[in-house]
Amino acid sequence: MHSSLGTDAKLSRRVLQDRLFKLILVGVALGVVLLLTTIIGFVIQQGISVINWSFFTHLPQPPGASHSGILNAILGTLMLTVLASLISIPVGIWCGVAMAEHPLHPLVKWAQVSVDGIQSIPSILFGIMAYLWVVVPMGQFSAVSGAVALSMIMLPIVIRAVEEAVRRVPTTMREASLALGVSPFRTTIKVVIPCALNGILTGSLLGVSRISGETAPLLFTAFGSPFLVISIFQPVQSMPILIYNYATSPYADWQQIGWGASLVLILFCFVLSVGTRWVFKR
Amino acid sequence: MMSVPTTFRVIDLRVSIGVDAIIRGISMDFFANTVTSIMGPSGCGKTTFIRCMNRLHELVPSIQVSGDIVLFNQNIFSVNPMLIRRQVGMVFQRPNPFPTMSIFENVVAGYRLNGIRLAKSESSQIVETSLLKAGLWHEVKDSLHRKGAFLSGGQQQRLCIARALAMDPSVLLLDEPTSALDPKSTSHIEDLIAELKESVSIIMVTHNIGQASRVSDYTAFFLAGELVEYGTTQKLFTVPDDPRTEEYLSRKFG
């Protein structure tokens, strides 16, 4: 019996290999989990003490003053994110749907390469481009210029997600619609997009969670501001810039606020990305 | 055979994709209020053939078609395919109800998607009539506004038949409508086809010889893109003219 199945020595070596492989697998998986929990745990530990109601409702105060808050950064990040989404979600959906529905069009290959290319550009360059295209002509830093920079980061994420989602819609859905005498355009709008809606929304929200933590592109564009700004043509504060400024300040209470803001930002992104995945998994 | 009015008249249809000839010159007439089966082994071009009849073959890039298909004296290649498709319904191999729509919305999808507005009473009427014709009304009348996903495969296929019938087509194309279904659903749909020919002409592709003999008035036998034999089902199954038909029926190659 052993002669046909290999020797005991060979077998025990394979059992050993198998165990070793499983051990490495468990170790690596644990490492990833540990990394995430350490980062989140550390930020919670450092930041939780400053978080209370006034942290969300007050403006930053001078060092040493009480009731310091990050209202301006929260509103600024919201403003930047909404503006960037208004640019990149419609364009991204249009582009992704077009690419998925006309896979043989000669431009699609170029578009795909361009989308990958844009995704590989370091984010600070989008800040520089937005500075040249928007800040310089307008003569000042502004929320709009920050949103333009962020939308360039968001666009390829949305396009890719939409393209994937639309491609996953079975051809039989399109055939069912076309066979009823529906035009290709209405088939796309009324059948294909509703079928792909989950993927489209997931992609858009992933794009939002990606840009809400971006710092580099905002340095030359939204710039930052200690004030509550409601004009999109003024420099505006954002969470990452606030964290950067406060964490590098020499004042201990400002550094604390930096940690608190980090915690808020991390929770926002976490809820957004985990939440969207969970909701759209059905 | 010629006394019955014709629906489709196919004249020397040739279809190729790249260098592969799929259909090599087929001419045949289809008759009103009859069930015509197109049978043949896999790859004989029967699905391509039926998809040409509502021009759905145009979804395949680089497909080339020559010859003519005439429907009620109108060459289908000289009008917008959307007009042909509203007149010619199609049911596919796998049930494909729209997953985002309720049963009700699925039945009237042909109107809604085409932007044709219906009064509420009118659409309710169309839904009821179409589901009754498709033999599904009594099973779903209490859940019309639920999504169709909970239906069995056979029920979904009958929903697709109802969706096609709702447009009041003059011809219904069935592309192996039972190939993805269990035997019970299959026999249900076969019974349905026999009833439907009162109001609509049916052209059905099948790879199931038994099915062709059970439900159709006329049968065509395709082989390698050619029409080998076409005649009444009774004649074709009992005294076929062509030895290849006899061979296919007895040895069931393919």
- DSSP assignment of B43-92, as one string? TSSHHHHHHHTTTGGGGSTTEEEEEEEEETTEEGGGS-HHHHHHHEEEE-
- DSSP assignment of B162-225, as one string? HHHHHT--SEEEEESTTTTS-HHHHHHHHHHHHHHTTTSEEEEEES-HHHHHHH-SEEEEEETT
Confidence of residue A1 (pLDDT cuts 50, 70, 90): very low
Fold (CATH) for A57-280: MetI-like fold (1.10.3720)
| Residue A3, pLDDT score | 52
| Residue B134, pLDDT score | 87
Q: Is A197 on the interface with B (CB under 8 A)?
A: yes
CATH number of B6-96+170-251: 3.40.50.300
Confidence of residue B253 (pLDDT cuts 50, 70, 90): low
Q: Is B17 on the interface with A (CB under 8 A)?
A: no
Mean pLDDT estimate for chain B: 89
Q: Is A182 on the interface with B (CB under 8 A)?
A: yes
Question: How close does chain A come to B110, measured CA to CA in Å?
Answer: 5
pLDDT at residue A77 is higher than 60: yes
pLDDT at residue B1 is higher than 50: no
User: Which residues fall within 8 angstroms of residue B197, CB to CB, at 6 or more apart?
Assistant: B33, B34, B35, B217
CA distances (Å), origin A218, targets A6, A40, A124, B128: 64, 24, 8, 59
Question: How close does chain B come to A137, measured CA to CA in Å?
Answer: 46
Pairing mode, strands B20-31 and B6-17:
antiparallel
For chain A, give the percent of residues with pLDDT over 70: 97
Compute CA B205 distance to the chain's CA centroid, rounded to the nearest angstrom.
7
| Residue A152, pLDDT score | 95
pLDDT at residue A7 is higher than 80: no
Residues of B within 8 A of A179 (CB-CB) are 54, 56, 85, 89-90, 92, 164
- Number of CB pairs < 8 Å for A and B? 72
Chain A contacts in chain B segment 49-78 (CB below 8 A): 54, 56, 59, 61
Question: How close does chain B come to A105, measured CA to CA in Å?
Answer: 11
pLDDT tens digits, residue range A114-145?
A: 999 999 999 999 999 999 999 999 999 999 99
Give chain B's length: 254
pLDDT tens digits, residue range A223-240?
A: 888 888 888 899 999 999
Using alpha carbons, select from B227, B243, B168 the residue that is nearest to residue B201: B168
pLDDT tens digits, residue range B139-189?
A: 888 888 888 778 888 899 999 999 999 999 999 999 998 888 888 888 888
Residues of A within 8 A of B163 (CB-CB) are 176, 180
Residues of B within 8 A of A174 (CB-CB) are 59
> Looking at residues A255-268, what average pLDDT do you find?
92
Residues of A within 8 A of B109 (CB-CB) are 177, 180
ipTM, interface predicted TM-score of the complex? 0.90
Q: Is A195 on the interface with B (CB under 8 A)?
A: yes
B189-194 — which CB contacts under 8 Å span 24+ positions? B189/B154, B189/B157, B189/B158, B189/B161, B190/B214, B190/B215, B191/B135, B192/B134, B192/B135, B192/B158, B192/B161, B193/B35, B194/B35
For chain B, give the percent of residues with pLDDT over 90: 49
Q: Which of A28-42, A78-92, B64-78 has the lowest mean pLDDT?
A: B64-78
> Looking at residues A204-215, what average pLDDT do you find?
88
Question: How close does chain A come to B173, measured CA to CA in Å?
Answer: 10
Is B100 in contact with A195 (Cβ distance < 8 A)? Answer: yes
Q: Is A180 on the interface with B (CB under 8 A)?
A: yes
Q: Is B149 on the interface with A (CB under 8 A)?
A: no
Q: Is A191 on the interface with B (CB under 8 A)?
A: yes
Residues of B within 8 A of A180 (CB-CB) are 85-86, 89, 109-110, 113-114, 163-164, 167
The shortest CB-CB distance from A179 to any of B85, B99, B115 is to B85
| Residue A5, pLDDT score | 60
Is A180 in contact with B86 (Cβ distance < 8 A)? Answer: yes
pLDDT at residue B3 is higher than 50: yes
The shortest CB-CB distance from A181 to any of B86, B99, B112 is to B86
Q: What does the block give as tokens for A184?
A: 């290709």
Q: Is A282 on the interface with B (CB under 8 A)?
A: no
Confidence of residue B61 (pLDDT cuts 50, 70, 90): confident
Is A177 in contact with B109 (Cβ distance < 8 A)? Answer: yes
For chain B, give the percent of residues with pLDDT over 70: 98
pLDDT tens digits, residue range A144-159?
A: 999 999 999 999 999 9
CA distances (Å), origin B240, targets A275, B39, B243: 65, 14, 7
| Residue B182, pLDDT score | 85
| Residue A273, pLDDT score | 80
Q: Is A108 on the interface with B (CB under 8 A)?
A: no
Is A182 in contact with B113 (Cβ distance < 8 A)? Answer: yes
So where are chain B's domains? 6-96+170-251
Question: How close does chain A come to B249, measured CA to CA in Å?
Answer: 31
> Looking at residues A251-261, what average pLDDT do you find?
91
So where are chain A's domains? 2-50, 57-280
pLDDT at residue A39 is higher than 90: yes
| Residue B35, pLDDT score | 94
pLDDT tens digits, residue range B88-130?
A: 999 999 999 999 999 999 999 999 999 898 898 999 999 999 9
Q: Is A183 on the interface with B (CB under 8 A)?
A: yes
Question: How close does chain A come to B200, measured CA to CA in Å?
Answer: 16
